[in-house]
């Protein structure tokens, strides 16, 4: 068993003149549930996209399961993007989105083994009844479940989620965490999730990684550590009024 699922060594990411990340180094143990915390513009999504290989750092090395990122098999990563980026005018059914996770392409027709696999993935997240529903007619929570099914369909050891709770109600959020925790338990998977929520960091995550364009801290989750990280990242404890002050 590999000791670390994700290792970042002195990562620097620049967009034009703007340094989104500087000197970011950390190591996430295999099997951890990591909450990535930080104010708006802290580089959380940039960090996640660097882990996914969508952004190439100016310098530094990212390793996944002891392999350089470029050599890591993309099918061993599941990704749940922010649902607000979805183009709802695209004509698609929920089962097609789930199946795209298997094909790494858009399905022309879904039948046989692919249909069974997609249905199983939807069932796993409690969304099998949504299979034939157009994406445009799904609520935020339903859509999030379908994206989750897509991310988990190949049973990847590493799952990355970009603010998955945004736009979904508390019941939907609870369901999502139930699915994620069950998945982590059965697959011994590593989960990395961007969140603004103190409760998520304390109650669901095993580790906290706090950034604000540089690493603030990375360690095992506890209320005291979460508060310390949030105070350093936001200037106060996150569940008070993080957005208002972060944007100020």
Rounded Cα–Cα distance for residues 129 and 175 (Å): 15
> Which CB atom, from 53 or from 219, has the smaller least distance to other proteins?
53
Q: How far is CA 220 from CA 157, 192, 206, 225, 235, in A?
A: 20, 13, 6, 8, 21
CB of 207 to other proteins, least distance (A): 23
In total, the chain counts a number of residues equal to 248
CB of 1 to other proteins, least distance (A): 25
Residues 6+ apart with CB under 8 A from 245: 39, 234, 235, 236
> Which CB atom, from 144 or from 212, has the smaller least distance to other proteins?
144
> Which CB atom, from 152 or from 229, has the smaller least distance to other proteins?
152
Q: How far is CA 242 from CA 36, 62, 174, 234, in A?
A: 14, 29, 22, 7
> Which CB atom, from 93 or from 226, has the smaller least distance to other proteins?
93
CB of 126 to other proteins, least distance (A): 22
Rounded Cα–Cα distance for residues 25 and 47 (Å): 11
CB of 52 to other proteins, least distance (A): 5
> Which CB atom, from 127 or from 226, has the smaller least distance to other proteins?
127
Tell me whether strands 4-15 and 18-29 are parallel, antiparallel or unpaired: antiparallel
Residues lying near other proteins in the complex (CB under 8 A): 52-54, 74-75, 77, 79, 81, 85-87, 89-93, 96-97, 100, 103-109, 134
CB of 134 to other proteins, least distance (A): 6
Structure tokens given for 227: 């508060």
């Amino acid at each position: 068993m590999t000791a670390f699922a994700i290792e970042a060594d002195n990562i620097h990411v620049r967009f034009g003149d703007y340094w989104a990340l500087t000197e970011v180094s950390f190591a996430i143990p295999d099997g951890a549930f990591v909450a990535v915390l930080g104010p708006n513009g802290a580089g959380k999504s940039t960090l996640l996209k660097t882990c996914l290989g969508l952004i190439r750092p100016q310098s530094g090395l990212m390793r996944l399961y002891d392999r350089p990122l470029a050599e890591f098999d993309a099918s061993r990563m599941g990704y749940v993007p922010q649902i607000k980026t979805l183009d709802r005018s695209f004509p698609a059914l929920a089962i097609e989105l789930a199946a795209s996770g298997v094909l790494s392409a858009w399905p022309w027709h879904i039948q046989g083994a692919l249909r069974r696999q997609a249905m199983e993935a939807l069932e796993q997240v409690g969304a099998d009844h949504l299979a034939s529903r157009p994406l445009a007619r799904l609520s935020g929570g339903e859509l999030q479940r379908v994206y989750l099914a897509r991310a988990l369909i190949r049973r990847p050891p590493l799952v990355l989620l970009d603010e998955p709770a945004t736009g979904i109600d508390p019941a939907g959020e609870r369901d999502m965490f139930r699915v994620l925790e069950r998945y982590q338990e059965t697959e011994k998977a590593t989960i990395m999730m961007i969140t603004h929520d103190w409760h998520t960091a304390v109650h669901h995550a095993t580790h906290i990684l706090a950034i604000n364009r540089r690493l603030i801290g990375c360690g095992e989750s506890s209320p005291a550590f979460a508060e310390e990280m949030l105070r350093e990242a936001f200037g106060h404890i996150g569940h008070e009024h993080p957005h208002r002050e972060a944007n100020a």
